[in-house]
Amino acid sequence: MLIRLAPLSLLAMAATASAGLIDGFDGSSSGSSTTTFSDTISGGSVFGGAREIKLDTYGGTLSSPWSFSESGGALSLTRATSDGGDFFIQYGAGTGSAGRDNALGAGNDILRITFGANTGIVNVNAQIQSWDGGYSNFVTATRLGSGGGAGGVLDLDFSGEATQNFGVIRIYVTPIDANTSITVDSIEAVPEPASIAVLGLGLAAFRRRAKR
């Protein structure tokens, strides 16, 4: 039996151009506050070994508590009032190696956030931040939902960012309306479509040669 092996370059592309789970929210935690607070989970499978969920009220006091809850493979964020504030979700810390691949994984340029049901309008933006305080430009997604909906997938593309010592992923989730409930099902790092297309063409060409 003759076994043909794929070229090492294709195998390397296959290894790098694949999605990586940053967080599946399979833990259990919750919290609520009328002022700035944070909750940190260490260990497990979250990126960088630590995840922080923070409510930032920017020095103000909310008229009613905002809250979060992680259970059953999902994170729920609830804005109870029209007061100003943001939730953010942050992963990782430390120097690591140079380049954004330290944060998203080699070959991955897309930060993909999958949302479940939501009951209002949500703005989402993200930055990949370096350990020494430098950061990439914000990559901002369009508003998600209007008057409630089934959620969806938001892709934040970091492929055009300059190389830095990226080691921290920070995602800002801003509920626009009062009484907004947001569910986040997962956060992943995935290849940009062009990388997947190139990989597919290369493997297809290899298969044609293998049949000869």
What pLDDT score was predicted for residue 3?
A: 27
Listed residue (43, 182, 69) closest to 118, CA to CA: 182
Listed residue (19, 20, 27, 85) closest to 51, CA to CA: 27
What SS3 state is found at 172? strand
The answer, yes or no, to whether residue 20 has pLDDT greater than 80, is yes
Rounded distance between C-alpha atoms, residue 14 and residue 108, angstroms: 12
Interval 136-169: pLDDT, tens: 556 766 566 544 566 788 888 887 765 555 677 8
What pLDDT score was predicted for residue 108?
A: 84
Beta strands in the chain (DSSP E): 20-23, 29-33, 37-42, 50-56, 66-71, 74-79, 86-91, 110-118, 122-130, 139-140, 152-157, 166-175, 180-190
Cα dist. 89→54, 107, 184 in Å? 7, 23, 11
Mean pLDDT of 172-176: 83
Rounded distance between C-alpha atoms, residue 209 and residue 97, angstroms: 38
The alpha carbon of 66 is separated from its chain's Cα centroid by a whole number of angstroms, namely: 22
Interval 199-212: pLDDT, tens: 455 445 545 555 56
